[in-house]
Each structure stands twice: as C-alpha cells, then as structure tokens.
Structure 1
C-alpha cells in the first residue's frame, strides 16, 4: 500500500547490469518486509531467492545468520573464513546453470554479524549474487553495505511514512470508503504514517474504543485511540535493549514531553539523552532552551502506561521541584497542574481556574472538570462553574450545563463572568437546536446583567462599554440568523471600527460582516473580512481558539460563493489539524464543503458521497447548524446522481427537521429539496416553489439565496427565471456570480455565440455543469437555425464535459445530441454519396425510392450545415 512506485524502481535497479542490489532503510513498522515480499513475488519465476534473517541474539556469533546454508561444513572448518566462503559458493553453485545470480534478501541487516556482512558484500562485489538489504536507520546498515552503496553497486532507498492520501487508501481498504475526514486526520496524527501502527489502530479490538459506525459511515466516538496489547507489544519490543539510564530518560520525557533540555540534563544522564537522540527516539524543538519529546506519539502512550505509579510520582515530584518547568508550553502547564494534583502539591485557585479554561479550549474536558472542581475561593467559584458547564456541555450533558449557566447568571456581579456565561449559553442553544428568539433572550439577559452591575458599581468604565458592544454583536448574530442582513450590516460596520472595540469584538464583527457580505452577492469582500478575523485568531495562540470554527464556517461559505476553489482547498487542508481536539468538533464540516464544491462544479456522484458523509458527521456535532442545509443538498445530489431512493430519504428527513439555525441555510436546503423532488414529483410544482423562495429572498435582501433558487428553476426548464437571474447576478462579486450572469444572459438571448463564450468561461472556472448546459443549449439553437455543422462542432467539448459530470445526463444534452446526430440510414446514405453514388444508385442499394433518398439528403444537409454534395466527402458519418 503506497509503495507501488518504489517496488517498480527497485525491480528496475535489480535488472540493471551495473547495479547488484538495493539497500532499503526505514524505521520499524514502515513496511520494509512487506516491500521485500512484493519484490520477491515479482521475481519468483526469474531468480533464486535466498532469505537471511538477522537476529540480535546471533549478532556476536560469526556467520550465525547464514548457518542454515552451511550444514555440510565440518567442525574443523567452522572457524575458517575461506572454508565458509567456499561452502556458501558451493551451495550457490548447485543452482541451475545459466540462471541469473541469486538474490539474497537480508532482513534486519542492522543485526547482521560482522562475518556474514563481509562475506555477503564479497559475493555482491564479485558479481556472484545480488542483494535486497533491509535495515533500520539506527543503528543503521553494516558499514560493508554502506561501502557498496557509496561505490554505486547498491542503490539506497529511504522508506518514508505514508502520506495522508495513502493513509486514507489504507483506511478504505480496512473499513470501506464511508469514512469521515476527522477519522483520517486523527489516525494520521496518531500513527504518523507508520503502517504497522495504523493497522494496529484499525484492528477490530482497538477501533471499537474510538470509532463508531453509524448508517454505514465511520465516525469518531469522542474518545481518543487507546493502545491495545498488540500495539503495546510491538513498541515495547522495539525498546528492549536500552540501558537503565536511557529508560529513565524515556520515562521522564514520556511523562513530561515536551520538557526543556536544560531540565532534562539536570535530572537524567546527558550521555543517555545524546544516545537516544542519535538513535532518533527523542527529538528537539527549536528555541532558546530546546524542548525534548519522543519522536513518535505512540511511544509515549506505551511508556506512560507502563511506568509504575510509584516511579511516576517520583519522577513528577523531581520535575515539580524545578519551578521553571511550568513556564514552558501550554501543554506543559496543564501537565504541571495535573501532576501537582496527583502528587498532593498545593496549587492556588487562580492557577487551577486558568488550567480549567485552557483545558476546555484544547478540548481536554476531563481535566477541565477536574481542575475547575478543585477551585474553592468564593470570588472564583462562579467562573469555575462556567468551565464546569462548558465541559459538561461538550460531553453532551445539556440539561446540567443549562442549570449551571442559569445559576451563574442569576446573581452575577462580574462583567467577565456574564460574558463567558452568555457565550456558553449561546453555544449550548446552538447545539440543542434552539431558535433565534431564545438566543435573543440570552442577549437581553446579558444586557440586563450589565445594567445591574453598572448600578451596583456606581460608575461607568470601558469594561462596561465593551460589554455593551458584545451585546450589540449578539443582536447582530440574531439578525443574521433571521436573514435581516441589511439591518445587521449597518451595525456591524460601526462595531468593526468602534474605537473601544477589542480584538475579540473585532473577530465577531468581521465574521458576521463576512456572512452578510457573502449572502448579499459580495463574496470577495466577505472572504476578506473573515480572513482578517482568522488572522486575529492566529495572532493570539490559544486565546481565541473557541471562535475558530465560527469564523471558518463563514469564511468557507464566502469562498464557495466566490468560486475560489483553490482557497477552499487550502482552508480544508490547513484547519482540520490546527488543534488536536478540534477535529471532533468539526463533525462533517470538511465533507460539507467538499460536497458543496463538487455540487457546484457538477460532479454529482462525488457530491452525493461527501454530503451523505456530512449529514452523518452533523448528527454527532452540528455547532454551525448546517444539518438542514446539508440534508437538503444531499437530497439534490442523490437525485442528480440517479439515486431516487436516496433523494426521497433525505427529502423526508429534511421535512422532519425542526426549524432551527440560520434562515438562509434552511431556505437553501429547501431550494435543493425542491430541485430533488422535481425528479419524482414533476418540475411544475418545484418551479413554483423555487420562484416563491426567490421572490421572498430577493425582497428580504438575501440576493445570493434568490440567485440559487432561480438557477435551479432554470435548470428545471423555467426560462422565465432567466431575466431576474441575470439582473440579480449583475452586481455579484467573484467567479461564481460572473459565470451565472453570463449563462443567464446568453440563454435568455438564445445567442449561440454568447452561449459558447459563457460555456468556455464556466469550463475554465471548473463550473462543469453550467458549461455543459451552455454548450448543449448552443448546439440546440444552432441546429434549429439550420447550422448543423456548427452544432456538431460543439458536440466534442460537450461530450468531454458530460464525461467529467460523472455520467449526469440533462435534457438539453440529449436534445443537442439528437438534433445533430445522424440516423443509421442517414449514415449509410452519407457513405454511399461520398463515394460518388447517384441518388438512383443509392435508392437501389437501400431498397427505397429516389424521392426518399432526396428527402434524407435534405435532412442530412440541414444537420451537417452543408449545401453541396461534394462536402459529404469531408464528413465522418459516425
């Protein structure tokens, strides 16, 4: 898996006269043995293969690795290199004459004894044998084989971990192709591309602890992968033979990673640290004081699980005595607090509260609960309750989280706690599918709390004014949910530039403004606003991490509306791995955007697959409230891909969903359901529904939504929607608006040249469905105008596009094909006429009258756009 190119390269090396083998170097578990099996299988009928398996126990035994081939050697000659050489060459000499030199496959060559290494390299150097040598980079292949590599007799290949695409391929082989991207990302991070580790994680005993199959789709269960016995044995076997000093370093680093190198050298043997670094078991990060960590995360999991509790506490106490340890990474800070709690160290309440806040931001909710529950100071207890509610909410305990939030806000006297509790309440309402009125109720309660705090304080300060900015932003959020974009935009522009605004208020204002701009046809400006919000988040580390998914959702939608496919791809590649825990909370977000892009491009089978995955992901986590939209789009993609049963299923699911989330998302889902239902209920009702939604959206200022409804109506054959579609999209920003606008104008004018130009514009922008529709319509127009030759010229680019549409067929495509395609009788007549046969000769050949032949020729000339019989010689009748 993922090594096919390498197998081909090595086989090519083994076939070259001046090369006598290959040296493959790779870490344990990367697949060296599997690679050698593939090569041996390919050479099975061509060469004799001799396997040599080196073992650590035989490394100091001269010729121990080749003992099975020296059975005829006398006791007296057992210590003679010359006798052993002759015995082995004699064994090789018993091979069939004329056969190629035998191939030695040396596994674990790093454990090969010196005597065997010298003997094998002599055989290779004298061209009496070839070799496929497999070794780990540390301690590395024997020097004799390295010398052959430097002399260009052996070619070296360094085996790399599997990349993300290859990991996905392996997961598909083991689980099937219905896998959420979050699963692939988690497995990639955990295994780091090591096939052996990855297969161990995918084993049925291991995967049931962190994966769940729902409706045929593999999703994360919310737990982290656990190390099972099979994987533990693999890793512990690779760590055998390390000295006690090295094991102490490994245990300390595993418990504390990343730990500052200066601290590690204080409590551990510096020489052991250097040896482990040289063997690539530990690595260093940059910075003034390098951080030390294990090179593979699974090594740390196994070591931590097997450090005795007494020894673990002793190591942690030694580290806790070094006060500078807690000033390292944020992960190191959390570990320091956790150790302090384990070891009975007194930790002040402010530190515990900070640890709970950070843990929640990093999605470590178990530790957030533990730290927050330890907070005892009355002045900090309310803030700790907010963090407990946060952790409870993420674990799915919505009712208890709601009780804690309401209790906190009831007599709140802190502006900061009021803000945090209100934002958490909004988050909880989004997860529990509450409506906009309930969210506005939270905003009103926040405003009342601010007023009460102001009266109790007896003065007004900047904190009060910033809090009121937050209330206004929350009201704008509600306006956006209700589709009141024109009203919201005025407030958001003021809030974005407010002189007393903070980075956090600017993030919210920019994200909401980006949503407004994208929904009203200004997708490029919307994407610029949300990009600015993401830049602020990136500049503050973990501080605003909780806002990231809120902004990413709106940024992605603006990019899609702009037709910026490359930027969408970059977004999907960058953000899933931005935090370890965040992947789980993306739910089906990645699949959703991939499906939306495929749908927009016209790749319906791909869109169907990705959107079905998105629906399953959103069943687990739908923070952005995209379930209604993805369900409606899944119904449409199923219908367009020919899956009527799937279309009906998702249309029924959409109808059963409660009315929650952004109005625009609900209406866009409804638009796609109407398009889907046209396949099994007829187009008339769907067109009427689409026109109704378009009118409502247009009068409400939701112009992007109106354009979507009109475009689907046009696709169903409603030419009356072309005029309003062209008018609405005339001012749209981005490629998407330009493509749809050109299509609408050209189709309305029935101008073949304009349609062909619009088709080329759409094709170049990867709007394949619109391009095919324009080409097909242009061909029909030309055929009806009697310009058959020009119509036939469009058939080739149309056919290329139809192929890319994954088999999708539309009426205008088949109409254009039938309008220019010759019948079987017409093709026969063209062939005979091109050869010079007269009309009477053709009539006799075909068994028809001369008048019938003349009628056929008239229709042929119209289809082909010619007027002379001589032009038939240049026609391909097929």
Structure 2
C-alpha cells in the first residue's frame, strides 16, 4: 500500500460545500415583533444564503429583488421583474403603483439583496414598504454606512444581523466538510489567513488550487503543494475593484503584494511617501498598532494574492528587486531572510554570505524547502562547505539523505576550521545512519573524535552517539551517555539540545520517566537558546511519552500547549505536533482524535520528511484504528510502517509488533493477538525498554491474557509511575476471575484519565460477574463500561465488543461450539464439517473469546446457559 499523492489534474473535483452554519443568526432573526431583518456583511460572507434561509422560514410566499451596478441608474430597476412599469408614467405614479402591487401581502417575504446598490427610487420604495409593515423584509447590505437610506435600519423596525467572517476553527470545519476529508494544518492556515474567513474567498481558493494542480491527498489528508491560488474569476473581480487609474497607488499595492508586512520607511523608499499616504487614505492599507507602529500591509491579504497572480514574470522580478534594494538601503538587522528570499526571484544579486546566513535562518525555522533554495543559491555563489552543510541538512530533513551524502562527498574539508569540519562530518555521519549505513556512520564519528580538540566539539559528538545508539536499539548506552552529558557541569547547550529529545525518549521508553522532566526542562532551554526550534518540539516527544507510559495523564493535554506556542511555521511542525497529540489522545482513550492527529502527522512526513516520523505516525495510526475495530485500515497503516522501516529504526521493532497485535485482535483471533502482544513485550525487554514492555503486556491483558501477573509485578520495580502498578492489579484480578477487583482497576484507570483502559477493565468485570451469576454486579459494571466508552468516541476494543455482543456467534460457530461441547476434537470436527483443522481452530478460538471462557472444558461445563 502506498500513500501516493492524488494530484488535482487526475480527475474532476466534486466539492460538497456545506450550508453555511448560521444557526445563531437565524435564531436572532425570529426574536421580537420586528418587520424583518437587515443582514450586514462584506461580499462573500454568505448574506444571500442566509437571506434565503430566513425568508423561507418567515413567509410561505417569497419575492426577490436585487440591486446591481447595471440597474442602479434605472428608477425602480431592481423591481422591474415584479411590477409593470410603463415608460410613459411619471416616477411618482410608478412609485405608487409599485407600492400598491407589493404592499398589502401579509403572507409575503420580500428579499432585497445588495440594497446598497439600489437606485434612489427603489431605496425609497423599500423604506415605504417598511413603514407600511405589510411585507416581511429581508434586506442585505455591504455596510449600513454606505446604504442608500438610513430609514431601512431606523427605529428598530428591522433586526440587524452583522455577518462576520468565519473564525479559524469554523473555516477549518467548512473546508474539511467541502473536501470530505481532513486538511493539513499548514494548508488550512494558508487558506484562512488569505481569505480572512470569507466563505466566498475560501471556496475560490480551494477550487483555484485544485484546478492548478496544487491540492492533493496523502493517506486521506488533503495538502497544498504551496500557497493556494484563486480562480481566475475571483482574481479578475478583485483586481477590477482596485484604483487602476492611480498608478502610484497601484505601485504601492503591487509592492506590498510581494513584500507582505513591511516597515513604512522601507515602503516609502521603494515607492514614495505621497503614494503610501494616498493608498492609506483610500482604505487599502493596514498600519500597525502601538506594538508595531511602523508595520504596513494590505488591508485584505486576498488582494495581494490576486495582484501576484496577475503580475507578469519580468514585472514581478522588477518589483522584488526594488524591495531588496529598499531593504538594503537601511538597517538590515532581522531582514536578511526576507531580502534573500525576495532576491531568489528578483533582478538583483545578493552576496553569497548573506544567502547562506539566510539559509541557516530558514533551517532554524524549519522551512526546509526555502533553506534548500537559499543554500543552493549560496553554493552556486561560491560559498562552499558552509552552504553545502546547510543544503545537506535541508535535504536530509526532507527525507533525501542519499542526495545529501552525495553532495557532502564532493568536499574534502582539510584546511577548514574545526567547527566547520565537525559540522560537515557530523551531518555526513547522520546521512549515513539514516540511509541504513550504520557502520559508516560510526566510522565517521570515530574519525571526527580523533581530530576534535574542543570540549564542546566532543560533547556534540557524544550527543550524536546518544541518537545513533537509541535508534540502533542500544537504549542502555544511549541513556548512559545522556546521564553523562546532563550530569556534567557547563555542558554545551548545542549538545544538550541535540541529546534531550532522543535521550529523554530513551529514558521514557526504558521506564525511567521520573528522570525525564529535568532533561526536558534543560533541553528546552538549550534548544531555545540555540534557535533549534525543531529540537524544542522533538523534546516534547520525550515529555509526552514519559507521561503516557507512566500513567501521569492528568496534565498531558495542557503539556501539549507548550509545544504549540511559537513553533516553527512549516509542515515539520505538524509532523511532530500530530505525533505527540496522537500519543496523548491514544493514552486517554480518545481514539478517533488520535487517528486524526496521526493521519495529519504522517501526511506531513510523507510530503518531504524523515521516514522516522512516517513509521511512528503509522504505528500510532494502526493502534488507533485497531482500537476502533477498523482492521482493514489498520492493516494498511501497518503495511506502510513496515515498508518505511529499517535498521536505523530498530528501536521501534516492539512498537511494530504491538501494533500488529491490534490487527490480529480485530480479526477475532484473540489468543493469537495475546501471543503477538507478548512477543512485542519480549522484544522490548531484550532492548531494556521496560516501559514499552509493560504497555505491551497490559495490551495482552486487555485481550484476555491471564498469565502476565508475575512479570508485571517485577516491572513495578523497574518502571516509574502508577500505570504499571494498576496494570499489574488488572492482570491479577483477571487471572483470579475477580469481578470486584476488576471494578477497582477500572476506577483507578478512570482516576488516571485512561478512560479506554478503564472501560476495558469494567467490561471484563461485567463478564466475570455474569460468570458468577451476579446479575446486579454485571449490570453495574456494564453500565460503567458503556459510560467510559462514551468518553472514547469510536472505540471498539475486543473487551467492549464482547460486552455488547456476548453471544454473537455465527451459524458455523454455533455448530462448532455444539460439537466441542460433545467432546469432539478439532480433527474430528474438521472431518465432520469438511473443513481444515486450522479453520476449526480459528472457530474454536473465537467461540471461547465470545463466550468469555478459557478452554474447551469450561465451554463444556457452561452448556450454553444463554441459549
């Protein structure tokens, strides 16, 4: 199974644009004894749709009139289709006839769309109809201030509805409803920022991007290849409304279209102060508040997009060149990245040193495509090894380690400063490692260590060992090196920022979660100080993993906020963000939300990211889908994880096996699922990842394993946090068929905020109470399980499935069960039913699981009491 892109041009798009959710506004229109409503909002805000909805609910008969540029000079032109107007009749008589025709109809709602474009006589007619009160009026205007007649909204005769654009989350919901699937957050943010939440603009951005081949799907998640483009229809409309006659003002608008936010002084150097002032008076600009008093931008971002799309290539290069020269003419602190980005497509050349500075800044901001372009330009400009290292890093972070290795191999850094040689060698070792060439990576590090003379350099090399050892499944050594680095005084901030994420992750997976908070705190401070923003986010993986593996879930969702504030702007942010949110939601039982976040993270990683994140998000997605009983989709997720797996990710072998156990359980093979989960636990134990082992063993318990008590008790001495203690109690109560003990376990898991674990324990308690004939206990436990499951939308674990369908045996299963009850062996049953022995074994396993019994003898003793 591949997650290949589905490009726009392969098939026509069928958008399912939803009815704009304006329930509150519709409700407001029905309050009080008013004679109708006036809906105020900008073009594209949905005024017409809302007007139709309100009118249809107000009166059985509806009439429609609309103002327009073509009719505003014709007396009563908006109503010409509703009334007979004799050209020989004077305006006063025509007005009286119109009033008589339209008035006196109490069962009628009159919609007057775009009332600010009515001719004066039509506007006066609307005012008189309002005074008469015989017709229910529904009026839309762009703004009350520009409307033709203040009387339309005077004296409270019409209820006023101000139709605001969509807020960010509302826009996201509308977009995903229209696309019939999730949209990645970078794309959604682009569309919301450019459209400012205007429904019309949102639609034209989606349709324009689709038509241009920029919008595609990866693994069910929609993404944009680059910033969205609008339809030609909308671009033409927006540009037609600009003051094209005033070329100096248009010049200002064009410059801002390519610059975005800009210092007023820089804009004045690129254009002229008078032109900037005139553009501001015309209402085209936004000037900063007290916090940013000198910043200026276009009042509506969509206008900038339209102008850029309508600008010829050579003219665009000239405009960017003017901006670069204006920026260079003044203080440039903080503007290097903007200047370099503009210069890439401008009629001006920049110094290669400035380009490589900018590429490093883009790399720090995790904008890897931009960093690659800038570094490539710097390399062509003669910047050499430094540019090559930045370019290699950008390539590697986009999943192209092989290309990065080829590039670095063209350099021989002999006569260069030590820090440049270290940077070159360290990144070459990284490309080796993540290209499944571990021995070469180790040799490269050893060679660097022989020539390193500074303590900082040696510590950075040790931080690389922390990472390589962790991923190569040598978790104990990774932890040892982490403790050494963080235990020493004055450790290099760069080394700590590199080591904190993988070292903290290693500690969490090994069960040493109590050590993680200190590592996280110091690592975040170091990463922030060095500008390593992605490292700061990756440290969040360690912290969230420690919380989920230890069972300290009370503040895990608040913990996520620390890694969502001031985070990098690119898709790399959403890879990590999706993964840590998925972990948190999976642990708290919100499996549908976990699925969504893992999908988003995986899609962002597939679209040019390290394969590690593809594997991790696919594993998480498999577990989230497995916990919902969606086996086929879980199989697809696991297939993709296995396809992207390699020796450089050996440490996640137990996670792959753990995910596979959920698939087997979803197929109804509960005994086999237990075996696979226990195999995952063995793999984790062999790698000294005792936190992962405890989690896998507990999954086996959730599937019905009654043999995990002893090992979970031993793990209580090795794993920090309350989870392993409650998991051990769960295994003990299940082994002893202790329904009341399972009830207590459910209560402890619920107090821990692990609602799905609690629901499974309560479901198992109900089955044990049933076995003992305790109907009251069964009802109570079942009610608890259902209440907890309701907190986990979509959840359908094996325990919950048995609770809801305790006797859901198929016809063939009933026959097999009856033959087992007579004492027949599997081979005898196979011969009787003309089946293979393996098929009969599968039927027997499913019957035992569904009936909640352990073996054939228990099945015979039960004698099908429920039948």
Shorter-chain TM-score bucket reads 0.7 to 0.9
Distance across 2 between alignment mates of 1:33 and 1:168: 22
CA distances 1:565-620 after superposition (whole Å, capped 9, x unpaired): 6865567678679567521x357555544554454445556656765665555444
* Matched residue, 2:50: 35
> 1:49–1:382: structure 2 CA closer, same or farther, 3 Å change rule?
same
Q: 1:11 to 1:427 in 2, by over 3 A?
A: same
Runs of 5+ consecutive residues of structure 1 not aligned to the other structure: 455-463, 820-878
SS of residue paired to 2:405? helix
Choose the corresponding residue for 1:131, options 130, 137, 146. Answer: 137
Instruction: Assess if the C-alpha contact under 8 Å between 2:514 and 2:720 holds in 1.
Output: yes
Q: CA deviation at 1:775?
A: 1.8
Q: Give matches, 1:273-292, under 5 Å.
A: 273=277, 276=280, 279=283, 281-284=285-288, 287=291, 289-292=293-296
> 2:9 — aligned with what?
none
SS in 2 for 1:521: coil
Q: Post-superposition shift, 1:519?
A: 1.5
Q: How far does the alpha carbon of each residue in 1:130-186 deviate from its partner, in whole angstroms, 9 at most, with x for none?
A: 43333335x9542744x6656433333333333444334433444332655554444
| CA pair 18-85 structure 1, distance change in 2 beyond 3 A | farther
CA contact (8 A) 1:556 1:571 kept: yes
After TM superposition, give the deviation of residue 16 of structure 1 in Å: 4.2
Question: Aligned-pair distance for 1:36?
Answer: 2.5
CA distance in 1, matches of 2:681, 2:692: 7
Aligned equivalents of 1:525 and 1:22: distance in 2? 63
User: In 1, Cα distance between the equivalents of 2:377 and 2:432?
Assistant: 24
**Residues 730, 761 of structure 2: 8 Å contact kept:** yes
1:550 aligns with 2:522: no
The one of 658, 666, 672 equivalent to 2:653 is: 666
**Structure having the larger proportion of residues in helix:** 1
CA–CA distance in structure 2, aligned partners of residues 489 and 229 of structure 1: 58
The structure-2 alpha-carbon separation of the partners of 1:65 and 1:469, relative to structure 1 and needing over 3 Å to count, comes to: same
> Structure 1, residues 640-660: CA drift from partner, whole Å, max 9, x if none?
544444455555555555433
Check if 1:796 corresponds to 2:783.
Answer: yes
TM-score (norm 1): 0.77
Distance 1:392 1:618, change over 3 A: closer
1:90 counterpart = 2:80: no
CA distance in 1, matches of 2:463, 2:781: 53
Tell me, yes or no, if structure 1 residue 420 matches structure 2 residue 423.
yes
Q: CA deviation at 1:710?
A: 0.9
Structure with max Cα Rg: 1
TM-superposed deviation, 1:758? 2.4
Q: Does 1:582 align with 2:596?
A: no
TM-score normalised over the length of structure 2: 0.78
The structure with higher relative contact order (CA 8 Å, sep 6+) is 2
For residues 43-97 of structure 1, the C-alpha deviation after alignment (integer angstroms, 9 at most, x for no partner) is 4x52433322232x5556665544555643555623x5xx45423311213x65x
* Alignment correspondent of 1:443: 445
Structure 2 contact 214–224 (Cα < 8 Å) conserved:
yes
CA RMSD of aligned residues (A): 4.2
Equivalence for 2:261 = 258
**CA distance 1:511–1:327, shift in 2 (3 Å):** farther
C-alpha contact (below 8 Å) 1:123/1:129 kept by paired residues: yes
Equivalent pair of 1:63/1:115 in contact (CA under 8 Å): yes
Shift, 1:810, TM fit: 3.2
Go from structure 1 to structure 2 and tell me whether the alpha carbon gap of 1:439 and 1:785 turns closer, same or farther (over 3 Å shift). Answer: same
- 705 and 343 in structure 1: CA distance in 2 versus 1, 3 angstrom threshold: closer
Aligned length: 788
- Contact kept, 8 Å, 1:775 with 1:794, in 2: the verdict is yes
1:290-689 matches, within 5 Å, as: 290-307=294-311, 319=323, 322=326, 327=331, 330=334, 332-337=335-340, 345=348, 347-362=350-365, 363=367, 365=369, 368-369=372-373, 372-374=376-378, 380-393=383-396, 398-408=401-411, 410-411=413-414, 413-425=416-428, 428-429=431-432, 433-434=435-436, 436-448=438-450, 450-451=451-452, 454=453, 464-496=454-486, 498-523=488-513, 525-526=515-516, 529-530=519-520, 533-534=523-524, 536-538=526-528, 543-562=531-550, 569=557, 582-583=570-571, 585=572, 589-602=576-589, 611=598, 618-623=605-610, 625-649=612-636, 658-678=645-665, 680=667, 682-689=669-676
| Aligned counterparts of 1:328 and 1:4: Cα–Cα separation in 2 | 45
Q: 1:610 to 1:586 in 2, by over 3 A?
A: same
CA distance in 2, matches of 1:780, 1:186: 51
> CA separation in 1, counterparts of 2:30 and 2:608?
55
- Tell me if the contact between 1:629 and 1:669 (Cα under 8 Å) persists in the aligned partners: no
User: How far, CA to CA, are the matches of 2:427 and 2:120 in structure 1?
Assistant: 66
Distance change >3 Å, CA 74–CA 175, structure 1 → 2: closer
CA distance in 2, matches of 1:504, 1:386: 17
**Distance in 2, Cα, partners of 1:65 & 1:317:** 49
